[in-house]
Amino acid sequence: MSFAVEIIGAGPSGLMAAEVLATAGARVRVVDHMASPARKFLMAGRGGLNLTHSEPLDQFLDRYGAARSFLEPAIRAFPPEALIGWCNGLGIETFVGSSGRVFPTTMKASPLLRAWLRRLDALGVKLELKTEWMGEKRSDAMILALGGASWPRLGSDAHWVDALRRRGVPVNDFVPANCGIGIAWSPYFRERFAGEPLKRIRVTSGVRGVRGEAMITARGLEGGAIYALSRELRQTGKLTLDLRPDLSIAALEERLARPRGKDSRSNRLRKAANLSPAAIALLREAGAPATAHTIKAVELTMTGTDLLARAISSAGGVALDAVDSGFALKAWPGVHAVGEMLDWEAPTGGYLLQACFSTAVAAAKACLEALQTAPDRPQSLSK
């Protein structure tokens, strides 16, 4: 029995859905408006291609915040171990970095993509590039894998939003996620310290805090510890930095109380509190006295976030209650939506790609089941 399924979008979600469907015997056509497939995937590979993470699955799932319950069934059905196994099956070995992140040993996306495209071609998947989707369903079923709204020059431009809204699908506005934040630095601080890291710090916004690193930029701050708090930072507009999270206030007070001799304020902070020049300057920039309490709680106010086009990912998209457990759109029968089209967000660290792959696998399997059990199957499904 031959099922005709069209997939719109040739990123990792679309290609994974195509593989699952074609392996089951479906006739699959993948359509993309760009001149080559998986451009954002290739861009991610320039930094090492962080595929997923090796931490325990319950801890892994917590990284999705409010979307955990929505994504959990798909990720448990196709967990990090399955993604690693799939990658190995393409002939691409992986390794776990010191942070627990999982990478291909090649540290690039291009070898993996080439092997993947060869497999899809052998399965009979048809790839049509430089082809615009006109908002229509022209096959027995369709999977939309059009991405979010970050890095639009690589293909994720969210031009699909109006087409879905016209069909009654609720789509929440896109906002930047995993992006830098703006802070009104003084000219001196900006010119002197832009490009300097703040290492081994703890960043808190609202009631949530994370340990990690941040990078001072001319616009403000960016880096893993900032990205992990994207949701909270958008909500509060404020953050607090603990510059020595490994020391208690009492321990810092004891160190700072030691005789300073002829040391300057900066040398005293460098020696007693082990603060970097950038961290010491940040205390001055925030107008904070050099006390144990302020070192543990430097308060900053945002001026905003980076533009959506500069963000690593986006929040917003198809409302989660607009799809069923198989990611089928309730307002458009026979059509599924996967990956970053859906309104969830996660920090960097492998969580973004994992959810894109997992939702694609789940949607493809649900699509097949729906086609196989539909009482009014179209003629194209008969032998």
pLDDT score for 264: 82
- Position 381 scores a pLDDT of 40
What predicted TM-score, i.e. pTM, was given to this entire model?
0.92
CA distance to 164, 166, 315, per residue, from 329 (Å) = 10, 13, 19
Cα torsion 76, 77, 83, 84 to 10°: value is 70
Superfamily of domain 4-175+309-381: FAD/NAD(P)-binding domain (3.50.50.60)
SS3 category, 196: coil
Round to whole Å and give the CA distance between 156 and 377: 33
Reference 341, options 163, 120, 214, 210; nearest CA is: 163
Domains of the chain: which residue ranges?
A: 4-175+309-381, 181-305
Q: What pLDDT, on the 0 to 100 scale, is given for residue 383?
A: 31
- pLDDT-flagged residues of the chain (< 50): 378-383
Do 2 and 21 touch, CB atoms closer than 8 A?
no
Report pLDDT digits (tens) over 236-269: 999 999 999 999 999 999 999 888 777 788 888 9
pLDDT tens digit sequence for 87-123: 999 999 999 999 999 999 999 999 999 999 999 999 9
Residue 321 burial class via C-beta count within 10 angstroms: exposed 0-12, middle 13-18, buried 19 and up: exposed
CB 342 within 8 A of CB 327: yes
Give the other-Cβ count within 10 Å of 100's Cβ. Answer: 15
